[in-house]
Structure 1
């Protein structure tokens, strides 16, 4: 019976009962509880039922053996993948501390089922094909789970067809989007673009037609002064005032119409130079591919993307890196920014990993994450095949999701980064409040120029009166006839 129970435990046959008939013709049913107060993950035969001649004494036939795990330690295989899993070594207690969204989920499961978590840190080299560990072992996460060296595995573990076939996966607890990230330097404005950016093309066309119209009027009626229209538009002064009132009205109209435009244009230009804004970025990764960009991603991500029709026709534009970490892909994208020989590239990584890694490395302002997702991937807790924790984990995830606990844990792990993103977007948005200081400066400068102009006109008028008064104080000189 002990050999039978050990075989059931090794193969995760939880409802494994042995029925025995004694010499007294009693029928006794034996089974095992893998977690009790006295032992953990052991198969010790215990009697769970007996036939009294009419019926079985205890109900049900298969009792719940995982409701209470009595604090037994269960191994959790994971690695550092913020914000899903944070791993930090506490030197004071000499213990590995774990936090993050998926760690919070496992802690809730541990509280509900009363077991303790033993963290097994897994660090991989950049060799996806063999999953070789840093310590030299060839057993990667999948091999450890398949060989029952761990009870659970979390840490941005995505569902794939091969993984689902080889391991047990309960319900999906999070759907992570794959996003495209591109360097903003590819869309930096040049000198000419900055000069033309403050106004839309419709405004520039209206100004161009107005300028042509004014020049045409002066060419038809006053050819010698046609260049003065352009001087007024640029803020220059007139050499002399026209004599005709019609021309003066046209000058005044052009001056008063161009002053507000110059104020707005110069204010926006100063603001753009200060903020170093960039051009519009495509909304999807297909548009990036149309612009001759190349995509960087992990080999595992590339295997997932191969099933997409948009990728199948442009497979030569994708490059799968020999790494399991999206952080390495983002670091390679930053390296390509300084290496012009690699051309224009963008990265396809997890949205949460991208935001946290760029924020922690102070590079969030240098990149833009496209709004349209590339794909949606499912995250799950992975266990050995036919693990008897499958039903309990599914039940727990359903309860947590129905009661809002999963959403609360996601907010606690992700909202800090979302608030910072919204703050950055508000800082990039141009409104009149941000331009008010430049508006006041320009208005003060134009007011000062108007005061100086008024003083000059007044002095000119006074100087004219003085000259006229001096000419009236002297008698007129009569012209003498010339003598032979």
Structure 2
């Protein structure tokens, strides 16, 4: 015993920090054992099960000497044992490349300032276990720590361990209670065997009617808002409006609707350098909790905001005006190419010239008559088939064909942002005023070589109110691009994970497909790769009546041609009579030559 005291005294005089023998500090040993046992339960039953790694900050070296020694004992028991349950990163500051691989941080702190300083060095929210080693009153320190994580970092997944000789107490925060909508008081919790859901329990399934601010804007069919409604829940409609109402009822929160800025703006612009406008700028400034309303999932927004996984898909297409059908007189010329008509005219002329001066032999005349019969039968069959198929003039089938054909495009202000990512639309797209569903009215008033770059959902919503436009529009056969829709939150928001899980369950049960049935999906126009794009669909009686009318129109056209030929014959006969008079010698000379 005397030798040990002499060694300890010599080490102290040489300013060497030495850890005293275990049995000299039974209280510290007992405290280290309690902390180590609690951390082992969390590591083995919580983190290792989910393959989570742990970042431990070495900032604990700045604490008092006795606390630093205590931390060393705890770390030695947890880290320097064979078969460590989880990978551990022990460093003063987490490397940015390593941040994406680490999902948990373990902090040993003496006061709130140390915890806040370490947390500021991590640029994203992770699961946080804080071991508070202090001789001061613990609750004020805990409240200050929870205030920072909740209000500054939007991180609810924080647990504070307060060591005792009899055991380790765990505290978290329950911000939403029946009596408070932002409680920051520490609440003792039982971590049991250290399961992840016991250490970080879900506390957002019931918000007890607390209000959440949501940035919304009108964009049918996704969001329709009645700002005059006394109850915001009743003032929302549309695909995303119904979705938001379901989420609010599931999580038991009320809505505080906030209009976009500037008022009337749909969504907002996003740039990779972090420059945002509209709703996304408001979220980054933390002026609201959520935004929803046909908000596309983009890497720019996901970098600076918190986003859910995609909950719906949008297909962007090009809508064209249907071309008119062929006139009956064009149909009469269609069975043969122009070279065939030229050959027939040449043979007819030769027959007329040769037949007037030389009598054709009977075999040649018989062959001629047979050939005329074949030509006539082919002509009539082609005309019959053409009329009853009711073809229309061809439209482009691909974007390349539309561009080479001189087409230009119109789109709404919100969808125009999508064209900035597609080089083919550069310099060929103009913005149409109004909502996305209004672009189709503008399209029908535009020249034929104009297409509308839009979404199938917007077209389906337009056709709910304008079913007669179905046969005036046609969809380009080539789909342009697919896009996904997300809900957005301020960066690091704890609502994102909870609502994302809720959206996943709703998507799995097909609730989005159920709501989308309000749109006219069965009344969509045909595409340009069909045989007769834009052709009207009739019932059996209407088809018979339409076919009879088309056949009679050809008969009327043939009669018109016959009457025209008769009129020409009468005119020629009248001119021949005039040529017999002496005053019309020039006309007589012409008829003699003919």
Equivalent residue number for residue 17 of structure 1: 159
CA drift of 1:79 comes to: 1.7
Would you say 1:347 and 2:461 are equivalent positions?
A: no
RMSD over aligned CA atoms reads 4.9
CA drift of 1:98 comes to: 1.9
How has the CA–CA distance of structure 1 residues 396 and 159 changed in structure 2, closer, same or farther, with 3 Å as cutoff? Answer: same
TM-score (norm 1): 0.64
How has the CA–CA distance of structure 1 residues 261 and 84 changed in structure 2, closer, same or farther, with 3 Å as cutoff? Answer: same
Question: Which deviates further from its counterpart, 159-168 or 328-337?
Answer: 328-337
From 182, 188, 204, give the equivalent of 1:47. 188
Structure 2 gaps of 5+ residues are 1-139, 270-275, 528-532, 558-594
Equivalent residue number for residue 58 of structure 2: none
CA drift of 1:13 comes to: 1.2
Distance in 2 (alpha carbons) for counterparts of 1:215 and 1:438: 35
How has the CA–CA distance of structure 1 residues 245 and 351 changed in structure 2, closer, same or farther, with 3 Å as cutoff? Answer: same
Equivalent residue number for residue 3 of structure 1: 144
From 383, 401, 425, give the equivalent of 2:489. 383
Q: RCO (CA 8 Å, sep 6+): is it higher in 1 or 2? A: 1
From 428, 432, 450, give the equivalent of 1:318. 428
1:244-280 alpha-carbon deviations (Å, 9 max, x no partner): 99979977995897599569859977997xxxx8522
1:303-344 alpha-carbon deviations (Å, 9 max, x no partner): 544444x43xx73x2346497953465565556549xxxxx5
Which secondary structure state, in structure 1, belongs to the residue aligned with residue 536 of structure 2?
helix
From 419, 428, 435, give the equivalent of 2:523. 419
Aligned length: 401
How has the CA–CA distance of structure 1 residues 43 and 332 changed in structure 2, closer, same or farther, with 3 Å as cutoff? Answer: farther
Would you say 1:220 and 2:354 are equivalent positions?
A: yes
Would you say 1:167 and 2:305 are equivalent positions?
A: yes
CA drift of 1:85 comes to: 1.7
How has the CA–CA distance of structure 1 residues 426 and 87 changed in structure 2, closer, same or farther, with 3 Å as cutoff? Answer: farther
Q: How do residues 6-155 of structure 1 correspond to structure 2 at under 5 angstroms?
A: 6-10=147-151, 11-20=153-162, 27-49=168-190, 60-88=198-226, 97-122=235-260, 124=262, 140-155=278-293
CA drift of 1:427 comes to: 1.1
Distance in 2 (alpha carbons) for counterparts of 1:419 and 1:281: 20
How has the CA–CA distance of structure 1 residues 399 and 38 changed in structure 2, closer, same or farther, with 3 Å as cutoff? Answer: same
Distance in 2 (alpha carbons) for counterparts of 1:398 and 1:129: 23
Distance in 2 (alpha carbons) for counterparts of 1:330 and 1:262: 40
Equivalent residue number for residue 182 of structure 1: 320
How has the CA–CA distance of structure 1 residues 189 and 442 changed in structure 2, closer, same or farther, with 3 Å as cutoff? Answer: closer
Distance in 2 (alpha carbons) for counterparts of 1:117 and 1:436: 57
Q: How do residues 218-257 of structure 1 correspond to structure 2 at under 5 angstroms?
A: 218-222=352-356
Q: Is the 8 A contact 1:74 1:118 kept in 2?
A: yes
Equivalent residue number for residue 399 of structure 1: 505
Distance in 2 (alpha carbons) for counterparts of 1:39 and 1:198: 82
Q: Is the 8 A contact 2:216 2:293 kept in 1?
A: yes
CA drift of 1:380 comes to: 0.7
Structure 1 gaps of 5+ residues are 132-137, 227-243, 339-343, 447-484
1:336-380 alpha-carbon deviations (Å, 9 max, x no partner): 549xxxxx5433222322443466466554443312122222211
Which secondary structure state, in structure 2, belongs to the residue aligned with residue 162 of structure 1?
helix
Distance in 2 (alpha carbons) for counterparts of 1:200 and 1:443: 13
Q: Is the 8 A contact 1:90 1:96 kept in 2?
A: no
Which secondary structure state, in structure 1, belongs to the residue aligned with residue 202 of structure 2?
coil
TM-score (norm 2): 0.54
Q: Is the 8 A contact 1:176 1:351 kept in 2?
A: yes
How has the CA–CA distance of structure 1 residues 202 and 35 changed in structure 2, closer, same or farther, with 3 Å as cutoff? Answer: farther
Distance in 1 (alpha carbons) for counterparts of 2:233 and 2:504: 32
Would you say 1:295 and 2:403 are equivalent positions?
A: no
Q: Is the 8 A contact 1:263 1:442 kept in 2?
A: no
Which secondary structure state, in structure 2, belongs to the residue aligned with residue 107 of structure 1?
helix
Distance in 1 (alpha carbons) for counterparts of 2:196 and 2:421: 53
